[in-house]
Amino acid sequence: VPAYEQGQRCGLIAIVGKPNVGKSTLMNALVGQKISITSRKAQTTRHRITGIATREATQFVFVDTPGFQTQHSTALNKSLNKTVMGAISDVDLILFVVEAGNFTLADAKVLSLFKPGIPTLLLANKLDQIHRRADLAPWLKSMQERHPFTEFVPMSAKKRDDIQRLFGICEKYLPEQGWFYGPDELTDRSEKFLVTETVREKLFRFTGDELPYTSTVVLDKFSEEKSKEHKRFMRIAVTIVVERDGHKAMVIGDKGERLKRISTEARQELERLMDAKVFLEVWVKVRSGWADDEARVRSFGYE
């Protein structure tokens, strides 16, 4: 921790909510770079991911979390929920993200986890999908009766102005203290983590709903070589782990087309994010029942 400097502010802000409300999209917009993968599917985010934004004297340390799972109690889901609970226990501010105008049982379940004492903003996201703003007023009122939210922030994670406004709102909840990270740091996650997450994002995006959420990506090889042009050259190999032979066929696709698309798009994105030339091999392996095997879940990198 750097020495305290006069006027510095710094604090932790947890981004919490049910799956698919836009938590990771929001964090990436706040950090100004893709730190956390996103897709239309639940369980895209499986880890606590820190995203850092330093603006003038204030350092905002955002913590993106998995969507809280209420459906099945597998070993993987228990681990995801533990991650959420850990992330909300010791923060300065909670952004409780919901879809504007929408509040379901799954949202209520997340809300019930919050302990009193931590300021909590109701962040009503995807406002761009609401066509008549007037419809929102009664909904906001009902939300007010539900929980003592400190503030309401109807917005869209996809609108730049809303993101700027959100910084101003969050700032006043952060204590005066020295920064936790350097001014240019964007995340606490490593490049190795970025690799498996990027492949998993493409996997989630390019397979239909038929591919169950119980697939993951593990890193087999990550090495850097010096190339003649002085650009970094990375040799990377990963394995996509699925639960059944049928899922493996689904990932590989007709004549290997889908696997090729997944690896090409992942490689291109990694080259951009790591500013390097990347050689990427992607394998597919079946490990039946891994998501309900605590030891396996841990060995694949979940807490």
Q: Which does 129 bind (CB under 5 to 8 A by kind): Mg ion, ligand GDP, K ion, none?
A: ligand GDP
18 is an annotated ligand-binding site residue: yes
**Under rule CB under 6 A, residue 69 binds ligand GDP:** no
Closest by Cα among 13, 49, 8 to 170: 13
**Under rule CB under 6 A, residue 39 binds ligand GDP:** yes
Binding marks (x or -) toward ligand GDP, 102..141, rule CB under 6 A?
Answer: -----------------------xx-xx------------
Closest residue to K ion: CB criterion: 44
Q: Least distance (Å) from K ion to the CB of residue 123?
A: 16
User: Is 35 or 284 the residue whose CB approaches ligand GDP more closely?
Assistant: 35
Which of 82, 158, 235, 277 touches ligand GDP (CB under 6 A)? 158
Closest by Cα among 91, 8, 59, 58 to 186: 59
Q: Least distance (Å) from Mg ion to the CB of residue 175?
A: 27
User: Is 24 or 156 the residue whose CB approaches Mg ion more closely?
Assistant: 24
**Under rule CB under 6 A, residue 157 binds ligand GDP:** yes
Residues 33-52, interacting with Mg ion (CB under 5 A): 45
Tokens at residue 94, please? 């909670």
- Between the alpha carbon of residue 249 and those of residues 35, 238, 260, 300, the distances in Å are 30, 17, 13, 22
d(CA 18, CA 282): 31
d(CA 85, CA 195): 26
Are 9 and 57 in contact by the 8 Å Cβ rule? The answer is yes
**Under rule CB under 5 A, residue 44 binds K ion:** yes
**Under rule CB under 5 A, residue 20 binds Mg ion:** no
Q: Least distance (Å) from K ion to the CB of residue 42?
A: 6
Q: Which residues pair with 11 in a beta bridge?
A: 60
Q: Which does 58 bind (CB under 5 to 8 A by kind): ligand GDP, K ion, Mg ion, none?
A: none
Instruction: Dump the DSSP string for 235-259.
Output: EEEEEEEESSHHHHHHHH-GGGHHH
Amino acid at residue number 24: S
126 is an annotated ligand-binding site residue: yes
**Under rule CB under 6 A, residue 19 binds ligand GDP:** yes
**Under rule CB under 5 A, residue 69 binds Mg ion:** no
17 is an annotated ligand-binding site residue: yes
182 is an annotated ligand-binding site residue: no
64 is an annotated ligand-binding site residue: yes
d(CA 23, CA 76): 20
**Under rule CB under 5 A, residue 65 binds K ion:** no
Residues 9-28, interacting with K ion (CB under 5 A): 20
Contacting positions for ligand GDP (CB under 6 A): 17, 19-25, 38-40, 44-45, 67, 125-126, 128-129, 156-158
Residue ranges that bind K ion, judged by CB under 5 A = 20, 44
Which residues fall in the annotated binding site for GTP? 17-24, 64-68, 125-128
